[in-house]
Amino acid sequence: MLSQFHDLLAHLPSGAHGGGDPTLTGIASLTEAQAGELTFVEHVRFLPQLQTTQATAVILPLDTALQSAAQARGLAWVALPDPRLGFALALNYFYQPAELPPGIHPTAVIDPTATVGEAVRVGARAVVQAGTVLENGVQVGAGVVVGDQVTVGYNSILYANCTIYERTEIGANCIIHSGAVVGSDGFGFVPTPDGWVKMPQSGRVVLEAGVEIGANTCIDRPAVGETRIGQGSKLDNLIHIGHGCRLGAHCALAAQVGLAGGVVLEDWVILGGQVGAANQLRVGSRAQVAAKSGLHQDVPSGAVMAGYPAIPLSLWRKVVAVVQRLPEMYQTWRQLGRRE
């Protein structure tokens, strides 16, 4: 795709800009960009890379040193309060994800009782079962299985080989990546002297509008009620969401997070990679938890937690500092003991 720099500016937040109106051919990172390409700089520490980049245009933060460097290099530039957001919007302008071919592939199997909206695309060997509704603009990739009585909302995309169990509700503009499983049985078993008795999982999973589910992530349904992922929440790859969990709006979970049954995340919670949470915990709104932390008690709103078991980040840093000094402290203790 070719674009004039000033045409791109119309798709970005307003900001000071300069350096002419070159033709742009694409987008690349600061160190890999070539002539004709757009790049971005997020912080003044990348000034040396900006001074040697081969890019033609750059998105900058509000920093006069970076702006001066861009001008000295003869780059077209725009300065924004959030250059990462500007870069994301530029990518949306330049890059259009691949779409399935229009229509329904002849090898797809769609139950006659399913409802298929306008401009729906269904790939090879996909299966859509009884009573399911595919709203307008939905894309169902090759090998996808959509169970009975599922609703897939407007413009949502189910990438190849994901599985949607019965009665799941998917809102508008959701994205579910390959290998994800939504609505599988929760881990419900009752011990008896003769072994485990399976508790039927009769509930459902609800994904609200704008949710994105990463590859090979699994979201379980509960015995009763629902597992709910709130509007705009983003889940990375290889995540497990246990039965009956409820995520608020705009939560962000990195890879390999594991939530046991009944965990509640309020709005805007951020969990780093491999965070684990025990049954029935509540994490307050806008709390953040560092990677590999283990949650065994509720987390208040706005808290920043780290470690196993998770403690406030400020305390965790002190603990780590002390642990690193333990060898020295041990030697001091031994020397004191010899003097007695």
Does residue 43 surpass a pLDDT of 90? yes
CA–CA dist 202, 220 (Å, integer)? 11
What total number of domains does the chain contain?
2
Q: Is 75 in the same domain as 222?
A: no
Identify whether 34 is part of a domain: yes
Contact present, 265 and 285 (Cβ < 8 Å): no
**Which two tokens mark 108?**
């797809």
Q: Are strands 145-146 and 127-128 parallel, antiparallel or unpaired?
A: parallel
In a domain, 55, yes or no: yes
Please give the helix or strand (H or E) that residue 318 lies within, else none.
helix 313-324
pLDDT tens profile 280-326: 999 999 999 999 999 999 999 999 999 999 999 999 999 999 989 88
**Residue 340 placed within a domain:** no
Q: Are residues 123 and 86 in the same domain?
A: no
Q: Is residue 103 part of a domain?
A: no
Q: Kindly state whether residue 335 falls inside one of the protein's structural domains.
A: no
Residue 206's CATH number: 2.160.10.10
Of these residues, 6, 11, 43, 243, which one is catalytic? 243
- The answer to the question of residue 101 being in a domain is no
Q: Which of 190, 186, 214, 213 is nearest to 202 (CA)?
A: 186
One domain, residues 84 and 208: no
Same domain, 304 and 206: yes
What was the pLDDT predicted at 124?
98
Residues 248 and 120 grouped into a single domain = yes
Mean pLDDT of 7-27: 94
Residue 72 is part of a domain; what is its CATH number? Answer: 3.40.1390.10
Percent of the chain with pLDDT over 90: 92
Per-residue pLDDT at 99:
86
Are residues 38 and 142 both part of a single domain?
no
Give the residue from 123, 105, 237, 103 showing the smallest Cα distance to 178: 237
Dihedral of the alpha carbons of 39, 44, 50, 56, in degrees to the nearest 10: 40
Looking at the structure, do residues 165 and 35 belong to the same domain, yes or no?
Answer: no
Q: Collapsing DSSP states into helix, strand and coil, what is residue 164?
A: strand
Bigger pLDDT: 189 vs 336:
189
Q: Rounded to whole angstroms, how far apart are CA atoms 213 and 185?
A: 18
- Residues 118 and 76 occupy one common structural domain: no
CB 303 within 8 A of CB 287: yes
Give the residue from 286, 234, 293 showing the smallest Cα distance to 258.
293
| Residue 10, pLDDT score | 94
Last residue of a domain, one of 43, 65, 94: 94
Take residue 234 and report the two structure tokens written for it. 């983003």
Burial class (CB in 10 A: 0-12, 13-18, 19+), 166: middle
User: In angstroms, rounded to a whole number, what is the distance separating the alpha carbons of residues 125 and 160?
Assistant: 10
**What pLDDT score does 332 carry?**
84
- In this structure, is residue 217 part of a structural domain? yes
- Return the H-helix or E-strand segment holding 22: none
pTM of the model: 0.91
Give residue 60's pLDDT: 97
* Claim to verify: residue 148 and residue 273 sit in the same structural domain: yes
Residues 133, 40 within the same domain: no
Among 94, 128, 156, give the residue marking a domain's end.
94
Residue 282 tokens, joined:
């509540």
* Rounded mean pLDDT, 229-255: 99
Half-sphere exposure of 121 toward its Cβ, with a 13 Å CA cutoff?
A: 16
Angle between helices 313-324 and 326-339 (to 10 degrees): 50
Q: Do 146 and 284 lie in a common domain?
A: yes
Range of the domain at 176: 109-315
Closest CA to 317 of 305, 327, 303, 301: 305
198, 124: one domain: yes
Does the pLDDT value for residue 340 go beyond 70?
Answer: no
Instruction: Look at residue 331 and tell me if it is in a domain.
Output: no
Residue 17 falls in the annotated catalytic set: no
